[in-house]
Amino acid sequence: MRNSILTSSALFFLLHLSAQRLEPVEINNTWLASIEKLASSETRIPTENKRKILVFSKATGFDHWTIPHNNEMLKILAKKTDAFEIHIGYDVTNFSASYLDGFDAVVLNNSNPKGPKRDLFYDLLKANSSMSEEAITEAAAGYEDNLMEYVKNGGGLMLLHGAITVQNNSEKFSEMTGGSFDYHPKQQKMHVKEVDPEHPLVEAFKGDGFEHVDEPYLFKNAYFDYNFRPLLYVDTTKLEGLKKEVKNTTNYVSWIKKYGEGRVFYTSASHNAQSLENSEFLQYLLDGMQYVVGDLECDDSPIDQP
């Protein structure tokens, strides 16, 4: 009898799941403890050197409510494994070349810029300086170049969910990250599947993928060059609310790629903090961090175009 009765929190979750939309959850001791319990205490690849990670968490456009949750989750992964040193950043000067050089990788945490310009560096300068329009445009381009040179020269870059929009109208930035954001239908329950279940970076899912409620992102620009190694996908025939005809029914939602000497990892999954309440997904993010810092070596060669 006891097992047949749902707790109030479980009932709350199921009601929102059926509505295909999840409400924000409070960051409290209970939530933090749940993430800490689910997080692995070991990295997949043992390492003696603690890696220094900049997690940039300032949005100027759509402000995802999961930004602080991701910050806490990454700090928990770092603390439990003792493999990373997390530094949370909010200021555009974090993208100066000298500052970036002090880190092994950068995580862009849902740092969405405003539309239609879609230029995070421009937005940050516009909001926090008295510079002329010309000077802001020039400085913003400089910060973009700094980040690209940092990755090209061997730095790691992880982009979480909305961070794919950081320089959404920049073709060269899109080439580095593997694509740009186009649009997303409504939030809905999706079965995210592995492209290659044998790939080391998706081992956490054990060949079953995972289900969650999220925004199904669709992409444009460099995405269609398929100049990346896809890791996870959703079947677009299972999605509701597509605005355009889709030629390839396999929509990649997470991938890795080389850029110069550096490494890029992108996952669109994580619009809702409830997605973090999954030990396999936490392991996936941990493995992704090890990939971008260069500790976890795997096949990141581009796929053939479909």
| pLDDT tens across the length of the chain (306 residues) | 334 333 434 433 443 444 466 899 999 999 999 999 999 999 999 998 999 999 999 999 888 999 999 999 999 999 999 999 999 999 999 999 999 999 999 999 999 999 999 999 999 999 999 999 999 999 999 999 999 999 999 999 999 999 999 999 999 999 999 999 999 999 999 999 999 999 999 999 999 999 999 999 999 999 999 999 999 999 999 999 999 888 889 999 999 999 999 999 999 988 889 999 999 999 999 999 999 999 999 999 998 755
Q: pTM of this prediction?
A: 0.91
Name the residue type at position 99: Y
Encoded amino acid at 236, one letter? T
Domain 2-292 matching CATH 3.40.50.880: the answer reads: yes
DSSP notation for 229-275 = EEEEEEEGGG-S---S--S-SEEEEEEEEEETTEEEEEE---SSGGG
Contact 105, 54 (CB under 8 A): yes
How far apart are alpha carbons 53 and 78 in whole angstroms?
Answer: 10
Q: Which two tokens stand for residue 201?
A: 């970076």
Give CA angle at 137 (123, 117), nearest 5°: 50
Provide DSSP, 171-219.
HHHHHHHT-EEEE----EEEEEEES-TTSGGGGGGTTS-EEEEE---EE
